[in-house]
Amino acid sequence: MSTPTAHLVLALSCPDRPGIVHAVSGALAEHGGNITESQQFGDPSTGLFFMRVQVETRAPLAEVRAALEEIAGTFAMTFTLDEVGRPVRTLIMASKDPHCLSDLLFRHRFQRLPIEPVGVVANHPDLAPIAAFYDVPFHHVPVTKETKDQAEAELLRLVRDLDVELVVLARYMQILSDRVCQELAGNVINIHHSFLPSFKGARPYAQAHGRGVKLIGATAHYVTADLDEGPIIEQDVERVTHSDDVAEMVARGQDVERRVLARAVRWHAEHRVLLDGRRTVVFP
């Protein structure tokens, strides 16, 4: 009786030195693995090596993981091993703007974005119908100066109770506290509605209009305690002209925001994004 073939994805980073690829591919070959797609990169500026491999194998995931853990010890490696396409348990946070939330849920439902949306948290009730349409539980958690601590406690409770792996700030207009940023470090993706580092902070489109730029942009990045300074995952831009006022920039910018955020979420969920200091390595 033959074991069914599994399709695994391995993403790793470690200090760069000779022999890493050979050791890893050896461990995979020993378990009958056939590499279908792989990318490697050594960053001379940080001395780190990055690798992502998709491999077909009949060996159980746990067995492959055990083999890799040995290597990880030798090479001071951190790695994740997962099944290709396994949906990542995701909590989406939003406020009133529907475009990013609606787009993520649409892609999950109809285009197989590999996430499992386990809940929507919003500090306003407006977006409840969208969550309902896509059958995702909606949690209205208002935030005021007084209730911020309590709201964040509720957020962390949901993250725990729902086994959340990824939090997506889909135009969530509240700043997370340092404590939350640290507790969820590397697992929170935000979309900022400007081409960072231009126009940090509030009302970036108004800033962009005032400056007379000819392209507006959006930036998906990991959230850190430094506002709008976390490692950038993806960016894109759209052309604007003198005749586009702030409202028009906002409307056109929303297209860029949702597409940049969707790419970042997908790449993260597919283990294509690796941290390299304050930068990211993306194997798209």
Residues annotated catalytic, as ranges: 228
Q: Whole-number minimum distance, CB 211 to a second copy, in Å?
A: 6
Q: Whole-number minimum distance, CB 150 to a second copy, in Å?
A: 30
Segment 20 to 49, residues that bind a second copy, using CB under 8 A:
20-22, 25-26, 28-29, 32-45
CB closer to a second copy, 21 vs 153: 21
For position 95 contacting a second copy by CB under 8 A, the verdict is no
For position 4 contacting a second copy by CB under 8 A, the verdict is no
For residue 204, count CB atoms less than 10 angstroms from its CB and return exposed for 0-12, middle for 13-18, buried for 19 or more: buried
For position 17 contacting a second copy by CB under 8 A, the verdict is yes
Q: Whole-number minimum distance, CB 63 to a second copy, in Å?
A: 16
CB closer to a second copy, 144 vs 243: 243
CA within 13 Å, CB half, 188: 26
Site string for a second copy, 179-198 (x = CB under 8 A): ----------------xxxx
Q: Whole-number minimum distance, CB 53 to a second copy, in Å?
A: 8
Residue numbers at the binding site for a second copy (CB under 8 A): 16-22, 25-26, 28-29, 32-45, 98-99, 102, 106, 110-112, 129, 133, 195-199, 210-215, 217, 231-237, 241-243, 245, 251, 254-255, 259, 276, 278-282
